[in-house]
Structure 1
Amino acid sequence: MFDKAFKKVNTFVDFKTDLVEAEVDDDQETAKIKELMVIIPDKEEVANDVIPLATKPPTIVDWKTHKEGKNNYFQIIRADGSSKMFRIFSQMLKSFNREDLEVLYKLVKDRYGSTRPLEDMDLVLWNDLINMFEPHVEDTVWRYQQAYKVLEWKLYDSRRVHFLRMQHMQIYRLVEMKYPLALLTLSQMLEKKLQIDYESEMAYQLCKLIIKQLKNP
């Protein structure tokens, strides 16, 4: 019994040593993940993020599409009767919060159900929202992704959305949802680096998720 006890004492490792080693490993992992991000401040994005929640605009109740000359616009209408025009979906994200995004998705679903819109602008909006909230491996955007090169990868932090711009294709995705991304796409995303307005836990977790998907497809 004495020999066993003496052996345990001689082989005991101070828990503080384990903690220090764990902290070093965490620091190294954080540093590696940080290399996968690039901070490009967007003044308009940051300005929207600092608006107090109480002053956020009322909920969206409808949308319409307009054409002026060669330009097409989305008109987003809110409960108080106010509205704003947007040319592309990414402009909406800068003025939206996550609730706005979810409400607009529900409005589009309620209007079209399982059918596809006929108007080009409505079809674009429908495609963006469906691919974001209801990704399906057989959808064209996922089946042909390997044919296109990744050009840009950006995080809209307060909306919990990240944006992937590829040749001839754009994809908007929810941070917390896993999508049928090809290994080549995942690899190119990390090579291009994640564009962020500021460092956040969400950005780190998103990079870790993409790394995990790349290692365990």
Structure 2
Amino acid sequence: MRIIPEEDIEIKAIPLVAKPPVIIEYKIVMERKISTYHITRADGSTRRYTSMINLLENINREDLETIWKIVKDKYGNTRPEEGYERVLWGDLKVMFEPDIESEVWRQLQGHGVTIWKLFSLCGVHFVRFKNLHIFLVVDKVYPLTPVIIKMMLERKLQADQWNEMCYQLLKLMMKQLRKQ
């Protein structure tokens, strides 16, 4: 048996999970009558997403918060005039800065829930009603009425895989329902 000095041993670390470079910019680009989100990362790579749902299926929570920061830095609390910019700003504002007095919550009344889906990667759940939709961060409490929560629970939560986040979301909805 031969003893090798410590300084002669080379260890190459292999990361188990590579963290994607930080998002530095977003653009909404019109391509053949379809608006797409172009997300650019610090390494220069750009990905296109055809919808908010497509975006949420492919980014993590940190990326989502970065996009919100970029949008907020660009517009502040002033609602943009442009169509898709306004939609993105509105969806993110409701997600991260829910205003109890907002018209959004009153508009939900009287609409049936058609889909309730969880995007585990970014920690957002999506509720589609007959005529509108809303994106909600899993760990925030929103001013949802008992009627809406019951409709969500009756529709059943859709998720790519059942995990702890699914159970925590269901627990939060049940707690909110009992509280009201």
Question: Relative contact order: is structure 1 or structure 2 higher (C-alpha 8 Å, sep ≥ 6)?
Answer: 1
More helix by share: 1
The 3-state SS of whatever aligns with 1:177 is: coil
Post-superposition Cα deviations, 1:107-136, rounded to whole Å, max 9, x if no partner, equal 000000111111111111101100000011
- Counterpart for residue 82 of structure 2: 119
The 3-state SS of whatever aligns with 2:28 is: strand
Give the alignment partner of residue 203 of structure 1, picking from 166, 173, 179: 166
The 3-state SS of whatever aligns with 2:20 is: coil
The answer to whether the 8 A contact 1:150-1:189 is kept is yes
The answer to whether the 8 A contact 1:164-1:170 is kept is yes
Name the amino acid aligned to 1:148: H
The answer to whether the 8 A contact 1:77-1:84 is kept is yes
Name the amino acid aligned to 2:70: L
Give the alignment partner of residue 20 of structure 2, picking from 57, 66, 85: 57
1:132-171 pair list within 5 angstroms: 132-171=95-134
Name the amino acid aligned to 2:94: N
Name the amino acid aligned to 2:114: L
Cα separation, 2, equivalents of 1:112 and 1:138: 21
Q: Aligned Cα RMSD in Å?
A: 1.4
TM-score by length of 1: 0.73
Moved over 6 A (4+): none
Offset of residue 151 of structure 1? 0.6
Name the amino acid aligned to 2:156: K
The 3-state SS of whatever aligns with 1:96 is: coil
- Counterpart for residue 138 of structure 2: 175
- Counterpart for residue 32 of structure 1: none
Tell me if 1:216 matches 2:176. Answer: no
Offset of residue 59 of structure 1? 0.9
- Counterpart for residue 190 of structure 1: 153
Offset of residue 57 of structure 1? 2.3
**Unaligned 5+ residue runs, structure 2?**
1-14
The 3-state SS of whatever aligns with 2:109 is: helix
Cα separation, 2, equivalents of 1:189 and 1:168: 15
Q: How many residues align?
A: 166
Offset of residue 183 of structure 1? 1.4
- Counterpart for residue 84 of structure 1: 47
Post-superposition Cα deviations, 1:157-193, rounded to whole Å, max 9, x if no partner, equal 2311111111221111111100010111101000000
- Counterpart for residue 23 of structure 1: none
- State the identity as a percent: 46
Post-superposition Cα deviations, 1:74-104, rounded to whole Å, max 9, x if no partner, equal 1111111111111211111111011100100
Cα separation, 1, equivalents of 2:127 and 2:148: 10
